[in-house]
Amino acid sequence: MKVELIQPQTSIIPCRCHIQEIKQHEYLIQYIPTEPGRYQLRILFNNQLVQGKTFDTDVYHSLPQISTVRIQQILPNHTPAIGDDICLQSK
């Protein structure tokens, strides 16, 4: 088995593809796109494309996500210092 990841033509940052054999004849193929565009995954077995085609994925820019952190209570004499362990809960 051979796997090829074809990145968008405008891509500058390389993207790695990881293959893990879960059990005999069953594989997990993972990649994390580094830039927006169309990624094509080619899976070949005996130099033949599996299912006779590539697996295409379109990747888009994501909007930044805003997360809110609320600190409920810090007692006046217990102000955390750098290096202290603290617990934050997000909502």
Write down the pLDDT at residue 62.
77
CA distance 42 to 33: 15
Q: How many separate domains does the chain show?
A: 1
Does the predicted model carry a pTM greater than 0.75? no
Share of the chain above pLDDT 70, in %: 68
Q: Is residue 70 situated within a structural domain? A: no
Q: Which of 88, 66, 16 is nearest to 5 (CA)?
A: 16
**Which has more pLDDT, 21 or 87?**
21
Q: Is residue 77 situated within a structural domain? A: no
Q: Is residue 48 situated within a structural domain? A: yes
Indicate the average pLDDT of the chain: 78
* pLDDT tens readout for residues 28-46: 889 888 889 999 999 888 8
> Residues 6 or more apart from 14 whose CB is under 8 A from it?
7, 34
Q: Is residue 91 situated within a structural domain? A: no
Q: Which domain holds residue 15?
A: 2-59
Write down the pLDDT at residue 8.
92
